[in-house]
Amino acid sequence: MARIGFIGLGNMGRGMAANLARKGESLVVHDVVEAPVRALVELGARAMPTAAELAAESDIVFTMLPTTASVAEVVGGANGVLAHARKGTIIVDMSTIDPLVTDRLAADAAARGIGFADAPVGRLASHAAKGESLFMVGAAPDVFARIKPLLEKMGTTIHHCGGAGTGMRTKLVNNYLAIISCQLNAEAVALSQRFGLDLAKTLEVIHGTTATNGQLKIAWPSKVLAGDTAPGFTIDLAHKDLTLIVEAANATKVPVPIAAVAREAFSSARSSGHAEKDFSAMVDVLCDNAGIPRPRLN
């Protein structure tokens, strides 16, 4: 049985690692926060004090970390995974980061005889906890074949997007549309409320035309329009991803003015104390600023 390492037990990582443990994998885990490590140990995992020690004992290492800098250090730093993994190990980074850093880590791994995959995650922490994540995987075919059975224990939908780096870039394209839709919806719904329109009837009209979208039709009725702004995907994370999108687009000379404007709207929401709310709460932020009653369906 392959020995599996998992680094990063935050909202997403903890659920995914827990599914591996429950489904019989030999798992070692590491995180700078003790509580999720203890929870995984209770499920049968072994705790490792450092990423370097975890790498030395693992055949496949998963990372799920919050920022580009943290991935660069944990995977590529002097005391990181690459420096201590054995030849033939596979590293699977499931974070959402700068794709140019993904490219560099993949090249460094290849030079050491180590396999590399980027497998950023679609869907929310609630899906991760239930083993229902979606993965966008960038990997060589042989690497993908080795990690696919493990991804199947953590998710229900797995897309092999191409070679290393393609998973990360697919995630940025997907999140571009998801986050931009959120901002567009916020402005449209705020406008409808300023006009004094019935919200339910307005949504009924929208959902019968090509103006509708998944955020407004599927997510919002159970989130902000029901008064629930507890985070599934925070305004802070949405701002982080928009920053990655703008910077990645700039690096490839693709103008994305809508993304740039939306990023500033999310930046304003962060600075006014809304960073940890669900990103659907952008409509509440906009309405509060404009003196419009917050839209609710009940």
Note the pLDDT tens digit of each residue in 160-177.
999 999 999 999 999 999
Identify whether 298 is part of a domain: no
Indicate which CATH number applies to the domain containing 19.
3.40.50.720
Task: Please tell me whether residues 149 and 285 are part of one structural domain.
Answer: no
Q: Is 83 exposed, middle or buried (0-12, 13-18, 19+ CB in 10 A)?
A: middle
The active-site residue, picked from 148, 171, 201, 223, is 171
Do the domain assignments include residue 116? yes
Return phi, psi of residue 118, to 5°: -105, 130
Q: Do 267 and 185 share a domain, yes or no? A: yes
Asked if the structure places residue 226 within a domain, the reply is yes
Are 179 and 274 members of one domain? Answer: yes
- Tell me whether residue 223 is one of the annotated catalytic residues: no
The answer to whether the predicted template modeling score (pTM) of the entire model surpasses 0.85 is yes
3-state secondary structure of 174: helix
Residues 140 and 188 in one domain: no
| Residue at a domain's end among 132, 163, 194 | 163
Structural domain contains residue 52: yes
The domain that holds 285 is classified in CATH as 1.10.1040.10
- Tell me the C-alpha distance between 14 and 204, whole Å: 38
Q: What is the pLDDT of residue 50?
A: 97
Q: Pinpoint the alpha helices (H) of 197-269.
A: 199-207, 214, 235-251, 257-269
Whether residue 291 is predicted with pLDDT greater than 90 in this model: the reply is yes
Predicted confidence at residue 1, as pLDDT, reads 79
Across residues 261-289, what is the average pLDDT? 97
Q: Which domain holds residue 220?
A: 169-290
Domain boundary among 133, 163, 193: 163
In terms of domains, do 262 and 117 share one?
Answer: no
If asked whether residues 98 and 173 sit together in one domain, one would say no
In-domain check, residue 87: yes
Q: Do 143 and 265 share a domain, yes or no?
A: no
Would you say residue 138 has pLDDT above 90?
Answer: yes
Instruction: Select the highest-mean-pLDDT range: 1-5, 59-63, 229-233.
Output: 59-63
Same domain, 155 and 211: no
Residue 124 has pLDDT above 90, yes or no: no
**Is 256 within a domain?**
yes
Average pLDDT over residues 245-264: 97
Whether 188 and 273 map to the same domain: the answer is: yes
**pLDDT (0 to 100) of residue 36:** 96
Please give the single-letter amino acid code of residue 286: L
- Enumerate residues 6+ apart whose C-beta is below 8 A from 180: 258, 259, 262
Same structural domain, 158 and 22 = yes
**Which band of pLDDT confidence, cut at 50, 70 and 90, is reported for residue 9?**
very high
Same domain, 47 and 68: yes
- Residues 42-86 pLDDT 10s: 999 999 999 999 999 999 999 999 999 999 999 999 999 999 999
Domain count of the fold of the chain = 2
Q: How far apart are CA 259 and CA 190, in angstroms?
A: 20
- Report if residue 296 sits inside a domain: no
Q: Provide, rounded to the nearest whole percent, the portion of the chain with pLDDT above 70.
A: 100
Same domain flag for 95 and 178: no
Question: If you average pLDDT over residues 278-292, what whole number do you get?
Answer: 97
- Position 295 in a domain: no
Structural domain ending residue among the three candidates 163, 187, 209: 163
Report which of 141, 131, 138, 8 is spatially closest to residue 67, judged by C-alpha positions: 8
